[in-house]
């Protein structure tokens, strides 16, 4: 099945006076996917949503929906609905009337309204609360009503602006699962905004990492996490260790990089030539540690001493101070056949990693 983009942003720019909120951004959003816009505060995520919904006018560029140009179409004429961060339920209407609002604006016949509101309430598991006023609902319930109010209109695309950020941790996890279920159940496109990388990774089909109004990388959560294309993405999505190095030798598909005076074999996906200064990136869980003297083979390693040991049940996190004074974070998983790994502070250790687990970026 060939997937068509349902929404296409082409070189979209939005300027507020002297602030460039969105800077020549292009992005294709596909039918049925769960796409997350991830980025730090102020990077333009909300503005992108507001441009798609039609609340802001483009400074330049184009937005297409189902192949038709959308520039200038007002929000009430777009087949898109938004769930706002503040929920923004109508305070003078009960739950039923809130959800029925969109259908009534379209002059739907009242019997149909009742049926569809009932269905929407069922999807968000709020049946029976039709007559409550918004101020009689908990935060999580308000969130569900806001969802129901949007999905009852059967939009092709649902835009969600940090819908979970006002909820406490437990409720947020519960709602993450609910959101995924609703997404599967409805089969419509979700464009979700968050600045929480864990939320993005656990929920999305694809993630677009944004920075300063532009997209740094688009990809599946695994691609974003395992193969960040630049330092911004690498640093923003999870913890990472960075080693400075220089390419010494290139062979087919691989290279040898000198780090702190030692030579490490690495993959060379970006075809960097000899002499090139590079950064070698490693997630804490991709680094191997051994107590000094345990490694017998002549593998390259960096030496250091354990500075901090934090047991976390399933894992142990170490802070290792390398001999060149840089410190790195290492996460070790416990497994059955290796249960007596006990690290002490001050212990001398060697660290390295398996060939191919590193990411090499030009400096």
Partner 1 sequence: MSRVFRWVYLGLIYAFLYVPIAVLVVYSFNSSKYSTNWQGFTLKWYGQLVSDSPLREAFVNSLVIAFASSVCATILGTLAAFAFYRYRFVGRKVLYTFIYIVMMSPDIVMGISLLMFFVTLGLATGALTLLIAHITFCLPFVVVTVYSRISGLDRSIIDVAKDLGANEMQVFRHVVMPLLMPAIIAGWLLSFTLSLDDVVVSFFTTGPSFDILPLRIYSMVRLGIKPEINALSTVMFALSLVTVTVAHLVTKEKT
Ligand X SMILES: Nc1ncnc2c1ncn2[C@@H]1O[C@H](COP(=O)(O)OP(=O)(O)OP(=O)(O)O)[C@@H](O)[C@H]1O
Binding site for Mg ion (CB under 5 A): 46
- Closest distance to Mg ion from the beta carbon of 40 (Å): 11
Cβ-based neighbours of 327, under 8 Å, separated by 6 or more: 307, 319, 320, 321
State how far the Cα of 170 lies from the Cα of 172, in Å rounded to an integer: 5
State how far the Cα of 166 lies from the Cα of 154, in Å rounded to an integer: 25
- Choose which of 8, 36, 81, 94 interacts with partner 1 (CB under 8 A): 81
The residue (of 135 and 312) whose beta carbon lies closer to partner 1 is: 135
- Choose which of 14, 149, 195, 283 interacts with partner 1 (CB under 8 A): 149
- Closest distance to ligand X from the beta carbon of 81 (Å): 18
Length of the chain equals 363
- Closest distance to ligand X from the beta carbon of 236 (Å): 13
- Closest distance to partner 1 from the beta carbon of 94 (Å): 12
Q: Give the closest residue to 353 by CA, choosing from 298, 309, 307, 302.
A: 302
What single-letter DSSP state applies at residue 86?
A: T
Stretch that binds partner 1, among 8-16, 77-85, 266-274, 349-357 (CB under 8 A): 77-85
Tell me the angle at which helices 110-123 and 139-151 cross, rounded to the nearest 10 degrees: 130
The rounded Cα 71 to chain-centroid distance in angstroms is 28
- Choose which of 102, 163, 219, 245 interacts with partner 1 (CB under 8 A): 102
* Interface positions with ligand X (CB under 6 A): 16, 19, 21, 39, 41-47, 195
- Choose which of 19, 57, 69, 106 interacts with partner 1 (CB under 8 A): 106
The rounded Cα 332 to chain-centroid distance in angstroms is 24
Q: Give the closest residue to 146 by CA, choosing from 190, 96, 89.
A: 89
- Closest distance to partner 1 from the beta carbon of 189 (Å): 16
Stretch that binds partner 1, among 81-89, 269-277, 290-298, 344-352 (CB under 8 A): 81-89
Q: In what order do the strands lie in the sheet with 262-267?
A: 262-267, 254-259, 241-251, 277-282, 359-362
CA 180 → CA 141, 175, 192, 202, 205, distances in Å?
Answer: 17, 8, 11, 10, 10
Tell me, by CB under 8 A, how many residues bind partner 1: 21
What single-letter DSSP state applies at residue 339?
A: T
| Residue 105 near which of Mg ion, partner 1, ligand X, none (CB within 5-8 Å, type-dependent) | partner 1
- Choose which of 72, 74, 293, 346 interacts with partner 1 (CB under 8 A): 74
- Closest distance to partner 1 from the beta carbon of 158 (Å): 11
- Closest distance to partner 1 from the beta carbon of 15 (Å): 17
Residues that bind partner 1 (CB under 8 A): 53, 55, 74-76, 80-82, 84, 86, 88, 90-92, 101-102, 105-106, 149-150, 153
């Amino acid at each position: 099945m060939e997937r068509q983009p349902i929404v296409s942003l082409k070189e979209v720019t939005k300027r507020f006076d002297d602030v460039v909120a969105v800077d020549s951004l292009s992005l294709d959003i596909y039918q049925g996917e769960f796409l997350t816009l991830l980025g730090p505060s102020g990077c333009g995520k909300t503005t992108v949503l507001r441009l798609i919904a039609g609340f802001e006018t483009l400074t330049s560029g184009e937005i297409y929906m189902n192949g038709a140009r959308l520039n200038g179409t007002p929000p009430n004429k777009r087949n898109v609905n938004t769930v706002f961060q503040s929920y923004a339920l109508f305070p003078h209407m009960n739950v039923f009337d809130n959800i029925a609002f969109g259908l009534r604006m379209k002059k739907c016949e009242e019997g149909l309204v009742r049926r569809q509101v009932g269905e929407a309430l069922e999807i968000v598991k709020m049946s029976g609360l039709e007559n409550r006023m918004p101020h009689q609902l908990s935060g999580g319930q308000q969130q569900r009503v806001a969802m129901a109010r949007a999905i009852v209109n059967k939009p092709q695309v649902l835009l969600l602006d940090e819908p979970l950020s006002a909820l406490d941790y437990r409720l947020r996890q519960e709602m993450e699962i609910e959101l995924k279920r609703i997404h599967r159940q409805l089969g419509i496109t979700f464009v979700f905004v968050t600045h929480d990388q864990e939320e993005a990774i656990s929920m999305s089909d694809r993630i677009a990492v944004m920075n300063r109004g532009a997209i740094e990388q688009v990809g599946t959560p695994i691609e974003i996490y395992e193969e960040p294309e630049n330092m911004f993405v690498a640093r923003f999505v999870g913890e990472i260790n960075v080693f400075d190095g220089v390419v010494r030798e290139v062979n087919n598909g691989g290279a040898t990089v000198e780090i702190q005076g030692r030579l490490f074999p690495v993959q060379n996906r970006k075809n960097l030539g000899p002499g090139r200064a590079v950064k070698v990136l490693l997630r804490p869980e991709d680094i191997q540690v051994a107590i000094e003297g345990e490694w017998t083979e002549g593998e390259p390693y960096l030496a250091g001493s354990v500075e901090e040991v934090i047991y976390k049940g399933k894992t142990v996190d170490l802070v290792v101070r390398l001999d060149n004074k840089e410190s790195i974070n290492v996460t070790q998983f416990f497994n059955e056949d290796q249960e007596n790994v006990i690290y002490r502070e001050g212990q001398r250790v060697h660290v390295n990693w398996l060939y191919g687990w590193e990411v090499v970026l030009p400096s």
